[in-house]
Amino acid sequence: MSNKKVFAGLAAVTGVSIFLLHNCHFNWQSHHRRYESAVRGKQTEVVFLKTHKTAGTTVQNILFRFADRHSVRVALPGGVCSYQNHQFCYPRPFSRLFVHPLTRPPSMVASHLRPGLSELRRLAPPNATFITIVREPAAMFESLFAYYGQLSASFRNAPNRSISAFLRRPASYYRPGERFAMFARNSLIFDLGGDPNRDPGDEAYLRGFIRDLESVFSLVMVAEHFDESLVLLRRLLAWEPEDITYVRLNARGQASRTRLTTEEAEQARRWSWLDTGLYRHFNASLWSKLQTLGPQCLQRELGLLRQANRRVARDCFGAAGSGPPPALQASQIQDRELRPWQPGGVSILGYELPRNLSLPPALAASCLRYITPEVSYSRHLLVKAATRLRPKRRDRESLKNGPEMRERD
């Protein structure tokens, strides 16, 4: 199926709304009347297409916490890909068979998947708001190389597994058919359902792909302007500032980072030229929306978000001033459920609640959700879905057995 047909199919599902922002007020336009009524309160039907190494895990945690608080059903991996407990059989094209039966039909989707798309159309709520996130390609490539350096055959082909060596002659080491090759070139395009191996300079393909994305996604966030993106997300979903508070997740320690030279960064952008064009377009699009919002309104919104984040850092972690909670090496975290996954040779930082901070149980449980890694949070939501289902099953059994029991009496 062509990308154009795929995204056209999704466009028919999402009922994408275009929002107009002016003087800190906003109006909603929709292709469907029923969507207009759905957003009078907080929007709970959301599909987040999570991309790799773009701050997507932090966005996912925001959505998971919202769903957790409001008892919104989240689609979770299971079924035929139960071996992957945090993504839908990625990188295979998405199928409803990848979704755990206890979480169907969902109101929200937020785990890794590769669009595949008649199936996603059948799974997604009819009025869902589609969002995703992109990141500057050179910074993203450095993160991908570090994170998947021991997993991607293309990265391992480079001498001494060196990012500098790879970028000098990327075509010599990249093999499209090899394991985890999708992380070695145009990862954004691949994650969004496109072809990462188009001939350089195929601008018609890139323009068409961007048009198709714009027909589906109400908002494309930008990792480098994370708070500004969250301002637009909050207004798009009619949420409160407290709904978009966050603690930065899945970050690497300094020892696992490589500073690219100016030349290497440019080599990375040329190599992933589709991602570069995609990023430049949606970065400009984000700032166009923010300009429409207006500088005074934007600053007021950013102030509300950052004030709310400071309250979380203070109340949950005892953080002084405006700083975030202190990140820890995985070996320093005693609670195994709070330890983020550690890819080979990379240090991923995590958090614990301070032991010297006495928190009421309800607040402690809420604070823990900010720092629960993706895999652990997915398990928690699945257990919660199973728990919700048990009373319904008992009620059905009671109704079925009731008359029979009365006859025996």
Q: Show me where the domains of the chain are located.
A: 3-246+256-322
Is residue 63 scored above 90 in pLDDT?
Answer: yes
Contacts of 299 (CB under 8 A, 6+ apart): none
Is residue 208 scored above 90 in pLDDT?
Answer: yes
> What is the pLDDT confidence band of residue 7, given thresholds at 50, 70 and 90?
low
pLDDT digits 0-9 by tens, 319-371: 776 678 889 999 999 999 999 999 988 999 999 999 888 899 999 999 999 99
| Contact by Cβ (8 Å): 196, 174 | no
Q: What is the pLDDT of residue 345?
A: 84
Alpha helical stretches, state H, 161-294: 163-168, 170-173, 187-191, 203-216, 226-237, 262-271, 273-293
* pLDDT, mean of residues 211-240: 97
Q: What is the pLDDT of residue 397?
A: 47
Q: Say how far residue 202 (Cα) sits from the centre of its chain.
A: 28
Query: Nearest Cα to 308, choosing from 26, 32, 122, 65?
Result: 65
Q: What is the pLDDT of residue 388?
A: 81
Q: What is the pLDDT of residue 4?
A: 54
> What is the pLDDT confidence band of residue 86, given thresholds at 50, 70 and 90?
confident
Burial tier of 237 (Cβ tally within 10 Å: 0-12, 13-18, 19+): buried
Partners of 129 in the β-ladder: 46
